[in-house]
Amino acid sequence: MRSMKETKENKTKLILEAVVLCITLLAGITLIMVAGHVDLETWQRVTLTVIALVVIFGGIAVAAVLEMTAGGFECPKCGKYFVPTKTAYIMGMHTVTRRHLRCPHCGVKSWCRRRLAQKEEQE
């Protein structure tokens, strides 16, 4: 039961992450377009660009925190589930569904697949 609730919560986090990223991009692009196309004083243009950058970086930071707290990874070598440390997570290379992490169980560094929750059959 706990595992199912966890999966649901983590799915919600990942959906929320996608929403945050969409809003961030839309807001950021809109601000940059306004700054570039509307007839404005230079200081107004600069202010808008700065606001756009703050919005974009803020949104990405929120999305990253959501993603980081949404479940862990499965080691392809020993098949065990683990949650990486924040540092390992940020420093690790990654694709959309995989991340290059060191497994705390067998110590092997490999491409780990994202898991929304620990599998029930595992001890």
Query: What count of other Cβ atoms lies within 10 Å of the Cβ of residue 12?
Result: 12
Neighbours of 71 (CB within 10 A): 21
Instruction: Give dist(CA 25, CA 121) in Å, integer.
Output: 40
Considering only residues 82 to 111 of the shown chain, the ones binding Zn ion according to CB under 5 A are 103, 105-106
Q: What minimum distance in Å lies between the beta carbon of 72 and Zn ion?
A: 12
Tokens read off for 32: 């940059």
Interaction of residue 8 with Zn ion, rule CB under 5 A: no
Residue of the chain from 5, 77, 86, 119 that contacts Zn ion (CB under 5 A): 77
* Beta bridge pairs of residue 82: 73
Please tell me whether residue 78 binds Zn ion under the rule CB under 5 A.
yes
Distance CA 28, CA 19 (A): 14
Q: How many residues line the site for Zn ion (CB under 5 A)?
A: 6
Q: Which is nearer to Zn ion, 8 or 77 (CB)?
A: 77
Residue 75 interacting with Zn ion (CB under 5 A): yes
Q: Residues interacting with Zn ion, by CB under 5 A? A: 75, 77-78, 103, 105-106
